[in-house]
Structures are given as C-alpha cells and as structure tokens.
Structure 1
Amino acid sequence: MEKLRNLSLWTEEGYHLFAREGLEGLQIERLARILQLNKSGFYHYFGDLEGYCMELTKLHHQKVKIFLEDARQLKTLDPDYLLLLIEHTTTVMFQVQLTRTKDRYSFYNTSELVDLKVNAAVQQLWNDFLGHRHNADLAIRYYYIVRDMFYTRVSFQNFTYAFLHDLVTDAKVLIDQITERRLQSTDKFSL
C-alpha cells in the first residue's frame, strides 16, 4: 500500500511540475526534496527519467479520459468548453508542454494521440460556434490553427476565461472576415 502511495506521489507531483515548467521542471533531486522522499525511491519505481516520463504520459491519458467524459456533456464552445478547459488547467497545460517538447518521441506520440481525441470531441462545438457557415473540413482546419495559436500563447499566468474568450472570439471574427472575402471574390468571378 505504501509503495502505491509513494508511486502516486511521485507521478502526481511530476505531472504538476511538467505542466508548469516542461521537461526542465523534472529534476529528480528537486522532486525528492518537494515530496520529502529519498531519491533512491525514484530510481526504484521508474528506473530513470525516461521511465518516469512514460509513467507521466500514462497518467496524462487517464486525466484526458476524464476530461473527454466531461466534454461529451457540453452544449457550447463558449462558455461551456472554455470553462471546462479552466477546470482541467493542469491537464491542458501538460498537453501544451507535450506539444512544446515534441523532440521526444513518447511526448510527440502522446501529444498527437490526445490531440486527435480532443479534436473529435470539440469539432461539433467548434462548428456550432462558427455558426454552420463553414463546411466541416474547413472548420476543423481553422480549429487547428486556433488550437496551435493557443498552444504558443497560453501560460498558467494568462489561463483565464477572458483570455480564452478573447482568443476564440477574435478567431471567429477573423474567420468570418476571411469567409466573407472568399464569398465576395467568388461572386465577382461568377458575374
């Protein structure tokens, strides 16, 4: 029982540190100091940092599963989905850090798998948010752009409803302008 508790302590704390600081935050001595555990326990449970990172990605998949279960209940992108993102800030920020650290295969693979699952869950909310004026393929491509912009701009400090609302509202305005211009240029050629 003690072994499982200690294992959970190591992974939960590492999960939070990685979400906040990325791979640089995963320093074994620092983790041991924070947890007030012997660092030899780290090596006993995980072998090395690579083994530890694999455990963190497994934990991430578990947390994403919970996030997706919550997402299935949502009716709107704004405010429902945005508030869900805030409710799951650490999980979202862990995903952001995975995306920013794609040079490690296990991080890249986990990031891609999670993005696929989240994309599928949010696609209809995104289409509804845009107002059904776009075909689904084009709408999801716009979503990818906005998601990637979110990944580059977000931090724990600015992860607020106002930030998320402004991001998606600005994106919607821009997408509407692009769509309107495309329609106008199409109309000119059809005359």
Structure 2
Amino acid sequence: MATSRSDWLNEGLDVLAHEGAEGLRIDRLASRLGVTKGSFHHHFAGAAGYRTALLEHYEQSTLHALDAAVGARREQGTRATLEWLVALATDERSSIRRAELDRAVRAWANSDPEARATQARIDARVIDALQEAWRPASGSDAAARTAALVPYLVSLGAAVTVPPISAAELREVYVLLLEAVPGASGA
C-alpha cells in the first residue's frame, strides 16, 4: 500500500506529540510507517520542507476543528457556544483536545521561529474565536477579549500542569467559569 503525504504528516503529528520535535527524523518516521526513505522524498523536499509541511498541517487541522466547533453553536448564543466548547475541550476523544500535541508544538516554538509563528497564528485565531463568542454577551470588544482570555489562559495552564489536570477537573473549572456568562443563573 502506498504511503500518502497525509500518512507522513499524521504520523509526524503522533511522533511530535509523544517524542517532541527531536523525534521527527526521516528514518524513524519511515520505520514507523513501514516504508523506505524514498517514499518520504517523493512527498517532501528534505527534512526542513517536511517540518514546514507538518506545521502547516497542524495549523490547518487545529483551525478547522476550531471553526467547526465554534460554528456548530454560533447562532445559539454565547452560552450555548461556550458550553459546546467546554464539552469538546474536556472530551478525551475530541479533535480539539490534543494536550500532548499542543504541549509539544509549544515546546518546539520555544526554539524554532517557524513553529513560534505557527503557534502565534493559532493562539490569535483561538482568542479571536472566543472573543467573537463572548461579544454578544459583553458590553464592548475589550470586555469580550478579556472574557475570551480567561478560559484560554486556564486551558494553557491546565495543559502544562504536572501531573496533568484531568478532563473531569478541567470541566469543573470551565463550568465554574460559565457562571460568568450573562444569563447563566437562569440557564
């Protein structure tokens, strides 16, 4: 069976999540996929090209999952959107909850300008999406941005806590934060 570009990229995300950026070696990826390095060179122009493609793949898949999640409840208002995001962010099987991968990319971003730029774009989009979700319930864009930062900063803190915060505990924190949504007491 032929190994596709997507196979290489998805395997790379798995390696990145479990071994970090230093695990992204062509020979190791080829071995894991059960193919030769020639297959790699058919799809990518060397290790640097692969890392660029991997970051692009990570960014696109992350932003696609975000857009789908926010779009799924946008018309139902701030609380419904935020409740849905809480459900997704605390579900171990969710395409949004990828704590190991997120940690690995953030660690990579500390030493690599391309990974840092990718992470900066993702952070900006997530904060913008949360701000948009909060806007209808906030008095201003500034208030919506502040409200958006609270759950995002909680998620970042939870992602780097050792040992990790469980999904159940994180859900309880988010439920507590949902009480800050206007109209929450009657919901």
Asked whether the two chains share a fold, i.e. TM above 0.5, the reply is yes
The structure-2 alpha-carbon separation of the partners of 1:137 and 1:41, relative to structure 1 and needing over 3 Å to count, comes to closer
C-alpha separation between the residues in 2 aligned to 1:149 and 1:127? Answer: 24
The answer to whether 1:116 aligns with 2:121 is: no
How much identity, in percent, do the aligned residues show?
24
The answer to whether 1:88 aligns with 2:88 is: no
Deviations 1:78-116 (A, max 9, x none): 3x2133233115756433322222121111011010111
Q: What secondary structure, in the 3-state scheme, does the structure 2 residue paired with 1:37 have?
A: coil
C-alpha separation between the residues in 2 aligned to 1:89 and 1:140? Answer: 17
Give the residue type in structure 1 aligned to 2:48.
E
The structure-2 alpha-carbon separation of the partners of 1:81 and 1:159, relative to structure 1 and needing over 3 Å to count, comes to farther
The answer to whether 1:70 aligns with 2:69 is: yes
Aligned match for 2:28, one of 15, 27, 30: 30
Give the residue type in structure 1 aligned to 2:70.
A
Deviations 1:104-153 (A, max 9, x none): 1111011010111111212355679xx86993243234345323313313
Aligned match for 2:114, one of 103, 106, 109: 106
The structure-2 alpha-carbon separation of the partners of 1:21 and 1:142, relative to structure 1 and needing over 3 Å to count, comes to same
Aligned match for 2:161, one of 130, 153, 166: 153
Q: CA deviation at 1:71?
A: 2.1
Q: CA deviation at 1:8?
A: 2.1
TM-score, length basis structure 2: 0.69
Mark the runs of 5 or more structure 2 residues left unpaired by the alignment.
Answer: 74-79, 181-187
Task: Provide the residue aligned with 1:139 in structure 2.
Answer: 147
Contact 2:69 2:85 in 1 (8 A): no
C-alpha separation between the residues in 1 aligned to 2:121 and 2:58? Answer: 11
Deviations 1:6-59 (A, max 9, x none): 322211111222123321332322211111100233244323322111111121
Aligned residues: 166
